[in-house]
A and B are shown apart, each in its own frame.
Chain A
Amino acid sequence: MELMPYIVEERKDTGLYNAKLGIWLFLSSEVMLFGALFSSYVLLRTGAAHWPQGSSILNVPMGAFNTVVLIASSVSMVFAWAALKENKFGKFKFNLGITILLALTFLVVKSFEYGAKFEHHMYPKTNTFLAIYFTLTALHALHVIGGIIVNSYFWGPGSKMWQTDPQRFTNRIEIAGIYWHFVDLVWIFLFPVLYLL
Chain B
Amino acid sequence: MSHSHEDPRRLSFWRKYIFATDHKIIGLQYGITSLFFLLFGFCLMLLMRWQLAYPGEPIPWIGKFLGESRAPGGIMLPEFYNELGAMHGTIMVFLGVVPLVFGAFGNYFVPLQIGAPDMAFPKLNMTSYWLFFIGGVVMLASFFLPGGAANSGWTAYPPLADIAPIGQTFWLIGMVFLINSSLLGAINFIATVFQLRAEGMTFMRLPFFVWAQLVTAFLLLLAFPPLEAAGVMQLLDRVAHTSFFLPSGLVVSGEPLPESGGGSVLLWQHLFWFLGHPEVYVLILPAMGIVAEIIANNIRKPLWGYKSMVYSVIFLGFMSFIVWAHHMYLTGMGTAISAFFQTTTMIISIPSVIILTCLFLSLWGGSIRFNIPMLFALSFLPMFGIGGLTGLPLGLAAPDIHLHDTYYVIAHFHYVVAPGTIFALFAGIYYWFPKVTGRKMSEVLGHIHFWPSLFLMNCIFMPMFVQGLAGVSRRLYDGGQQYAHAQATLPLNEMSSICAWLLGLFQLPFIFNLIWSMLKGKKVASDNPWEATTLEWATPTPPGHGNFVKVPKVYRGPYEYSVPGAAKDFTPQDQERV
Q: Give CA–CA (A29, B227) in the complex, Å.
A: 12
Inter-subunit contact A22/B191 (CB<8 Å): yes
Prevailing SS type, chain B contact patch: helix
Inter-subunit contact A125/B260 (CB<8 Å): yes
Inter-subunit contact B195/A21 (CB<8 Å): yes
Q: Give CA–CA (A155, B121) in the complex, Å.
A: 23
Q: Give CA–CA (A43, B260) in the complex, Å.
A: 17
Interface string of A2-27 (1 = CB under 8 A from B): 11111100010010111101100110
Inter-subunit contact B546/A28 (CB<8 Å): no
Inter-subunit contact B236/A124 (CB<8 Å): yes
Inter-subunit contact A29/B243 (CB<8 Å): no
Contact of A1 among B222, B224, B240, B546 (CB under 8 A): B546
Q: Give CA–CA (A144, B502) in the complex, Å.
A: 55
* B166 interface residue per 8 A CB criterion: no
Q: Which residue of chain B lies nearest to A21 when distances are taken between CB atoms in the complex?
A: B191
Q: Give CA–CA (A11, B122) in the complex, Å.
A: 18
| Set of chain B residues within 8 Å of A197, measured between Cβ atoms | none
Q: Give CA–CA (A132, B230) in the complex, Å.
A: 12
Q: Quote the shortest CB–CB distance from B364 to chain A (angstroms).
A: 36
Given contacts A26-B187, A44-B267, A48-B262, contact A1 B551 (CB under 8 A): yes
Q: Which residue of chain A lies nearest to B241 when distances are taken between CB atoms in the complex?
A: A125
| Set of chain B residues within 8 Å of A128, measured between Cβ atoms | 242-244, 260, 262-263
| Set of chain B residues within 8 Å of A48, measured between Cβ atoms | 262
Inter-subunit contact B229/A5 (CB<8 Å): no
* B322 interface residue per 8 A CB criterion: no
Q: Give CA–CA (A28, B225) in the complex, Å.
A: 10
Inter-subunit contact A3/B2 (CB<8 Å): yes
Q: Give CA–CA (A174, B259) in the complex, Å.
A: 46
Q: Give CA–CA (A139, B5) in the complex, Å.
A: 37
Inter-subunit contact A40/B267 (CB<8 Å): yes
| Set of chain A residues within 8 Å of B139, measured between Cβ atoms | none
Inter-subunit contact B195/A40 (CB<8 Å): no
Q: Give CA–CA (A126, B259) in the complex, Å.
A: 8
Contact of A4 among B118, B228, B241 (CB under 8 A): B118
| Set of chain B residues within 8 Å of A18, measured between Cβ atoms | 120-121, 191, 195-196
Interface size on B, residues (CB 8 A): 53
Interface string of A21-65 (1 = CB under 8 A from B): 110011011101111110110011001110000000000000000
* B271 interface residue per 8 A CB criterion: yes
Inter-subunit contact A139/B120 (CB<8 Å): no
Given contacts A43-B270, A135-B232, contact A36 B551 (CB under 8 A): no
Given contacts A7-B2, A18-B191, A21-B191, contact A36 B263 (CB under 8 A): no
Q: Which residue of chain B lies nearest to A50 when distances are taken between CB atoms in the complex?
A: B262
Question: Inter-chain contact count A-B, CB under 8 Å?
Answer: 140
Q: Give CA–CA (A33, B266) in the complex, Å.
A: 18
Interface string of A118-155 (1 = CB under 8 A from B): 00000111111001100100010000000000000000
Q: Quote the shortest CB–CB distance from B255 to chain A (angstroms).
A: 18
Q: Give CA–CA (A14, B546) in the complex, Å.
A: 23
Inter-subunit contact A125/B243 (CB<8 Å): yes
Q: Quote the shortest CB–CB distance from B124 to chain A (angstroms).
A: 8
Q: Quote the shortest CB–CB distance from A161 to chain B (angstroms).
A: 11
- Of residues 114 through 160 on chain B, the ones whose CB sits less than 8 Å from some CB of chain A are 117-118, 120-122, 124
| Set of chain A residues within 8 Å of B406, measured between Cβ atoms | none
* B488 interface residue per 8 A CB criterion: no
Q: Give CA–CA (A1, B230) in the complex, Å.
A: 44
Q: Quote the shortest CB–CB distance from A156 to chain B (angstroms).
A: 20
| Set of chain A residues within 8 Å of B228, measured between Cβ atoms | 33, 36
Q: Give CA–CA (A191, B547) in the complex, Å.
A: 50
Inter-subunit contact B241/A33 (CB<8 Å): no
* Interface hub of A14, A30, A128 (most chain B Cβ within 10 A): A128
Q: Give CA–CA (A123, B10) in the complex, Å.
A: 55
| Set of chain A residues within 8 Å of B75, measured between Cβ atoms | none
* B186 interface residue per 8 A CB criterion: yes
Q: Give CA–CA (A47, B246) in the complex, Å.
A: 12
Q: Give CA–CA (A126, B241) in the complex, Å.
A: 9
Given contacts A22-B187, A135-B233, contact A29 B194 (CB under 8 A): no
| Set of chain A residues within 8 Å of B260, measured between Cβ atoms | 125-128
Q: Which residue of chain A lies nearest to B3 when distances are taken between CB atoms in the complex?
A: A4
| Set of chain B residues within 8 Å of A47, measured between Cβ atoms | 264
* B190 interface residue per 8 A CB criterion: yes
Inter-subunit contact B264/A44 (CB<8 Å): yes
| Set of chain B residues within 8 Å of A2, measured between Cβ atoms | 4, 117, 546
Contact of A32 among B4, B225, B236, B270 (CB under 8 A): B225
Q: Give CA–CA (A18, B396) in the complex, Å.
A: 44
Inter-subunit contact A3/B4 (CB<8 Å): yes
Given contacts A49-B262, A124-B240, A127-B260, contact A37 B117 (CB under 8 A): no
Q: Which residues of A contact B (CB under 8 A)?
A: 1-7, 11, 14, 16-19, 21-22, 25-26, 28-30, 32-37, 39-40, 43-44, 47-49, 123-128, 131-132, 135, 139
Give 5 A-B contacts (CB < 8 Å), ordered by A residue: A1-B4, A19-B121, A25-B191, A44-B264, A49-B248
11 new A-B pairs (CB below 8 Å) besides A1-B117, A3-B5? A3-B4, A4-B120, A7-B2, A21-B190, A25-B186, A44-B263, A49-B262, A128-B260, A131-B244, A132-B244, A139-B232
